[in-house]
Structure formats: C-alpha cells, structure tokens
Amino acid sequence: MATAGAQRSARTRTPVSGLRGGIDLGGTKVQAVVVDARGAVRGQDRQPTPLDGGPGAVVEAMATAMRNAATAAGIPTSQLLGAGVGAPGAIDSAAGTVADPPNLPWKNAFPIGPELTKTLGTTVLIDNDVRVATRAEYELGAGRGYPSLLGVFWGTGVGGGIILDGVPWNGQGAAGEIGHTVVKMNGALCRCGRRGHVEAYAGRASMEERARQLIARGHKSDLLHITKARGADRMTSGVWARALAGHDKLAEQLVDRAVEAIGVGIASACTLLDVEAVVIGGGLGLRLGQPYVDRIDELVRTLVFVRERPPKVLLASLGDLGGGIGASLQVGSSAPVRHHVG
Amino acid sequence: MATAGAQRSARTRTPVSGLRGGIDLGGTKVQAVVVDARGAVRGQDRQPTPLDGGPGAVVEAMATAMRNAATAAGIPTSQLLGAGVGAPGAIDSAAGTVADPPNLPWKNAFPIGPELTKTLGTTVLIDNDVRVATRAEYELGAGRGYPSLLGVFWGTGVGGGIILDGVPWNGQGAAGEIGHTVVKMNGALCRCGRRGHVEAYAGRASMEERARQLIARGHKSDLLHITKARGADRMTSGVWARALAGHDKLAEQLVDRAVEAIGVGIASACTLLDVEAVVIGGGLGLRLGQPYVDRIDELVRTLVFVRERPPKVLLASLGDLGGGIGASLQVGSSAPVRHHVG
C-alpha cells in the first residue's frame, strides 16, 4: 500500500518531531498516546482489543490506534522517535515478543515488536504493562519526587512494580507481584491456585466470583442487576462503584475486604522494602479513587513496621493514560538495568 | 594507661597485618573474630554481655573480646586494618552510635564506634547486626554466587537483610524486616503490638510465650523441665532442639507453626523481590539446621509465585561466627551504597 511504502522510506530519515509513541495493550482495549519530551500527551486514540483473529488482528488494532494518535498529534508514525508497548504476559524485551498474555488470544511468543516496527515505520520496544505504568507514575505522575516507589495496580488482578532509587527492580524478571503475596495463610483460594493472596480478596475477578457465590446462597445485592443494566457480562469497576454509591451491603463488605487485603499487603511490602511512596492505580483503584486510597493509606500507617515515617500512599495521577505514557518512556532511554553500583 | 598510650601511638603507623576485626554484639554474648583478606577466621573470643554497668561495661566487654581475638591471631588490635561491629537497635553508622538496642542496657544513642576506636587503637565502624550477617553469607557463606539474596535470621525474633545484585538494599534505613510482614491478617499478637506477623508465630520469644500459655492451660510438655534442667530461665534454641529430639508434641506443634509462618513469609518476600536465594541463619535456624531448612524450602517451592524457578533456600554456612565475620567486612570496603545505576 502507498501509505506503508511512504512509511518505509520515512524510516531512513531522522525523526525530528521529538515525539514518542506509547501503546497500552489490555484485554478489552488498546490505548495509544503520543507524548512530547516533557511527558505531555499530544495525541491519543483507543481501539477495542479484537479477541478473534489471533495476534495478527491485535497488532493491527495496535497499529491503528497508534496511527490515529499520531495523526491527532500532526505527524505520521514514521516521524516518531520510536514507540513503546506495555503488555501483559511473558515479555522478552530483546526479542520484542509477548507470550501467553492473560485475556488475549494467543499462547506462543509472538513478535509484536518486530511486526509493529515494520508496520509503523518506527522502532517499537516492549515491556511489561505494570512495570511501565509504575515508571510513568514515578517519572511524571503521583510518584514524582520520591526516590523509591511501589506501584500497585488494582483491577481484574492486582499487579505491582518496584522502583528502587530510580531504577526498576525486576529481580529475575518477575519481581513486584504483590497480588500474589500472602495476607492470610490457608485463606481464600486465588485464581493462581494458591491460597490467601492479596488478589484472592482484592482482585476484581475474585471479588465477582465471591459476590456471585454469596448471591447464589441468598445474600441480597444489586450487583447482578447493575451489571445487566449496563449490558456488561462482567462486574466492571463501574458496576462496583455504582453499587457502592447505592450503599449495596454486599458490595460494601467485599470492597472492605479488598481494602483490608490490599492495605495489609502494601504494609508488608513496605516493611520489607522501606520505600518512600506507594502509588495505587488500576481500573478499580482509579474508579474508586481518593476516598478508598485514603482508607488504604490509613491501614498502611497503622500496620507498617516503622510507624514514625510511614510511606505516602497516593492515587495514581495519570489515570487511564498512565500505561501508554509509561510505554512511551522506553523510547530513547537506556535499556532497563538491574545493577546497583557505588 | 600504658597500653592505651601504646595503642594511640600505634594508630599513626600503617597496619601491615592485612587482618580485620569483627564484633557481633548480642544480648547474651559478644563474639569477636579476626579475619584475613580471604575471609578466614584467624582468631576469636567470646565474652558474656554484661547487663549491669550500662553501655560502658558493654564496650569494655567488646574491647576485651576483640583484644583476645587479636592476641589469638598474634597481633595487637592496633595492627588491625580496622574493626567492624554488628549491633542491634538503631544504628547511625556515620556517628558510630547505637540507640535503644533490644535486650541491652541503654536507650539513648551511645558512641560505641568512637569509644572502641579510642580503646582499641584502630578505626571501628558500626552497622546493623542482621545486615552484616546477610553480607557475610552473601560474600563468604551459603549465599556465595547468587546475585541477589534474602537473609533470614530466625532467633528470639525474626530479622532479615536484603542484597540486590550485590548491594545491600536498606530502603530508608529499615528495609528487610521480614519478621514483621503479615502472614495472617488479624492473627496472633506480635511482640511489636501488631497482629499476624511472621515473628508472632516463629520468633523464639513468641513461641515460648505461647508454650507457657498452653502448658498453663493443661497441655503436656517437657519444655519447662528441659529449661529448668539446663539451668536456663528462657527456652533457648537448645531447649527447643532437645524437646523435638524427645518427640515433645507441644514443641513439635509450635515448631511446625513457626516453619509454616517462615515459609509463607519467605515465599511472599520472594514473590515480591524475585531473588535467586534465601539464607536462613539465627540461633534457632542454626540449631534446628538442615532438616528444618529443607521443610521451609519445600513450602517456599510450593508457595512462591514463579514455581518454575523457585529461590534456593539454604542454611547459613558461617554458623555462629557469621555476625562477627560480616561485621569485619565493613573495614576497607566503600560505604554502603543505595543507588542502582547502569
């Protein structure tokens, strides 16, 4: 196609826009942004994630979102300094592949980076979605100015990212999984198959499962009606927020339980890591917002080991765009490093 | 005094021995070692910790132990390259002070470093006891060869130290407190006043308290008899080991509970940090030894999030001398650093 041809030849020119692309790949939507050198969003677009058609269709939706965001910013994608992707699943940043992404339609490692690089005419880098969102809040959001940060993403599951004195701590590649730390030995069954994890109490999927069980056992709740009325097949963050607004007792109980589990999990993580701040994002975290972050903050202050200087517990400030903005920060920065040195 | 005068003048000479001193300050004993450049122990001495006489008496016992260890190594303390102290409590390494050390007879910051420097005629540095013990296992013990390490010290309490890619992670100064991470929300009361901590189940002091409660309520156990027969007023690690050897049911139950809490706490810490290895030391850890470390290892393998490559869970290999050896490693190394860089 003519457009693709123009983009290919554009790759040989030096991009002069100073703009970076970022794509947040989720199970329901693809969010693309164009970000300038100071981190301001200059264009954006959102596409539904196609769940038929395999990884090829998903890559095409990502390319469309990125092209539209670039158009909104007034340039072709080939003029971007590059683009970054934040994706769930097992990421190989060097190869640019994503394997076994939860809620997405493929298993084996798929070369999203190389495919998008070809399609968009600009170099595309890939990292873990939670990790890039943590970095965005650290560099440009609520975590700005704190040397070390724990990012907690409260949504379908509960993910986490760690930055220690400015550098992501990834461990052997999977550090930060606060959702799968234990808050209650032999407690509730987690979707990962083990018991008592933060996510077993606070992950939206686990909360929904528990709500459906209790309703089936005769507990009264409007959660099912609200879900149906919204035409949703899942209890989205909006469904929970609506139920809380209507003082639905069951929703209140389950959210209280979630808040407690997240508060305990964060307190333990901070007792171990002794970081200055915690940023809470994710679909449910953003939707429930400041009043619930304040409740988590209060719990953490009570529970953390060094009570004289508890970590700041903050609501993510980049909202829905944090993932895309964080993804864009991969461009032009050095590769993630894991080494401390003097 | 003549000795002190000789030592003061000795400070102006360059020490040529290549030997370092290390002092592990505990609530019951002071352990001093002299260590050569390869980490081998060339002299050692142990003194009881005087609990009357305040910090001055404790410093004198530390000086005596260090002098005796140096004599055993064939040199005066003034010929040491320097000496390091590992101490409990709130440490200010720059000022060389120790404040509010648990089980020791003072509260306000006391200048142990400057006092010992004067007395021993060699520069004395101070750091946290758990931190230096973790470093010793990392550099010279069971943790050798693993890039990142969690040290867990299972004794009266449960302490921990973190090394990430070769450098201690201290956070704002108190990182690593795995004993005060929660394994059971609203669970057993910890000596720190909060609930459900690893230490509330696994700390020897909490185990003893629970044992005495249960015995008072009519549970049968030899723990009290064994304690008395040993002339101890506390259930030492040796008392627990003896009770287990005699298949004491109550001791078995309480140790099982401790093993579970430690296993769960380590699994959560490794899910968060994703380190390659965990080393278990401390009075009770060393006394119960490999069979119990194997049980903890099995639990961690089952419970950690990335089961395909669980961390190695290892018994500390430097034994009782690890604290002193680790303390000595402060000498001639750069100041502790907290920064990751590329």
Complex ipTM value: 0.90
| Shortest distance, CA A177 to any CA of chain B (angstroms) | 5
Q: What share of chain A is helix, strand, coil (3-state, %, to 5)?
A: 40, 20, 40
Q: What are the start-end ranges of the H helices in B246-289? A: 249-273, 283-288
Relative to beta strand A277-281, strand A312-315 is parallel
Q: Say what the pLDDT of residue A207 is.
A: 98
Q: Which of B122, B125, B96 is nearest to B111 (CA)?
A: B96
Q: How confident is the model at residue A15 (pLDDT cuts 50, 70, 90)?
A: low
CA distance A101 to chain B (A): 16
Q: At what angle do helices A54-73 and A112-120 cross, to 10 degrees?
A: 40
* List of chain A residues whose C-beta atoms are within 8 Å of the C-beta of residue B267: 182
Instruction: Count CB-CB contacts under 10 A for residue B231.
Output: 6
Contact A162 B192 (CB under 8 A): no
B7 phi and psi angles, rounded to 5 deg: -65, -40
**Which H or E element spans position B112?**
helix B112-120
How many whole angstroms separate alpha carbon A190 and alpha carbon B284?
A: 32
Identify the CA nearest to B94 among candidates B123, B125, B63, B116: B125
Least confident of A205-219, A248-262, B17-31: B17-31
Pairing, β B83-87 against β B20-25: parallel
**Sheet with A277-281: strands ordered across:** A167-168, A158-164, A149-154, A277-281, A312-315
Core vs surface per residue B138-175: b (16+ CB within 10 A) or e: bbbbbbeebbbbbbbbbbbbbbbbbbbbebbbbbbebb
For residue A159, the chain B residue with the least C-alpha distance is B272
CA distances from B210 to B190, B214, B250, B302 (A): 11, 6, 10, 27
What is the identity of the amino acid at A204? Answer: R
Local confidence band at A27 (pLDDT 50, 70, 90 cut-offs): confident
Does B185 sit within 8 Å of A183, measured CB to CB?
A: yes
A164 vs B167: CA distance, rounded Å = 12
Give pTM, 2 decimals: 0.90
Residue A67: which of A129, A10, A141 has the closest Cα?
A10
In the chain, the amino acid numbered B93 is S
* Predicted local distance difference test score (pLDDT) of residue A51: 86
Q: Taking CB atoms and an 8 Å limit, are A273 and B268 in contact across chains?
A: no
Q: pLDDT tens-digit profile of A74-119?
A: 999 999 999 999 999 889 999 999 999 988 989 999 999 999 999 9
Query: A180 to chain B: nearest residue by CA?
Result: B305
Where do the domains of chain A lie, and which CATH numbers do they carry?
A: 2-127 (3.30.420.40), 142-317 (3.30.420.40)
Phi-psi region at B206: left, alpha or beta (left = phi > 0; alpha = psi -120 to 50):
alpha
Q: Bridge partners of A151?
A: A161, A279
Pairing of strands B167-168, B312-315: unpaired
* Cβ-defined contact of A274 to B170 (cutoff 8 Å): yes
CB contact under 8 A, A339 and B341: yes
Give the Cα separation of B35 and B43 in Å (integer).
7
Measured distance CA(B148)–CA(B269) in Å, rounded = 13
Angle at B294 between CA B179 and CA B28, to 5 degrees: 45
How many angstroms separate the CA atoms of B119 and B122, rounded?
8
Angle at B75 (CA atoms; ends B73, B77), nearest 5 degrees? 105
Whether A4 shows a pLDDT value over 70: the answer reads: no
Sort strands A124-128 and A83-87 into parallel, antiparallel or unpaired: parallel
From A266's Cα to the closest Cα of chain B, the distance in A is 10
- B182–A264 CB contact, under 8 Å: yes
A155: closest CA among A46, A90, A238?
A: A238
Tell me the three state secondary structure of residue B16: coil
- Cα(A30)–Cα(A59) distance, integer angstroms: 10
Which residues in chain B are closer than 8 Å to A267, comparing Cβ atoms?
182
Structure token pair of residue B42: 């060339």
DSSP class of residue B18 equals: -
What pLDDT band is residue A13 in, cutting at 50, 70 and 90? Answer: low
The residue with tokens 């006043």 is: B193
Whose structure tokens read 């390319």?
A63
pLDDT value at residue B15: 58
Would you state the pLDDT for residue B27? 85
Mean pLDDT (chain A) is: 92
Q: How far apart are CA B305 and CA A194, in angstroms?
A: 9
Interface touch A339/B275, C-beta < 8 Å: no
Strand ranges (DSSP E) for chain B?
A: 20-25, 29-35, 41-48, 83-87, 90-92, 97-99, 124-128, 149-154, 158-164, 167-168, 277-281, 312-315
Block residue for tokens 């119960």 = B288
Q: What is the rounded CA–CA span in Å between residue B184 and residue A290?
A: 27
* Gap from A203 CA to chain B (nearest CA, Å): 16
Q: Which pLDDT score is estimated for A7?
A: 45
Enter the tokens of residue A112.
């999203």
Residues of chain B below pLDDT 70: 1-16, 334-342
Cα gap A281→A290, rounded to integer Å: 11
Query: Helix H segments across B148-247?
Result: 198-202, 204-216, 223-229, 237-245
First to last CA, chain A: 53
Query: Among A168, A48, A170, A70, which Cα is nearest to A116's?
Result: A70
Rounded Cα distance, A214 and A221, in Å: 9
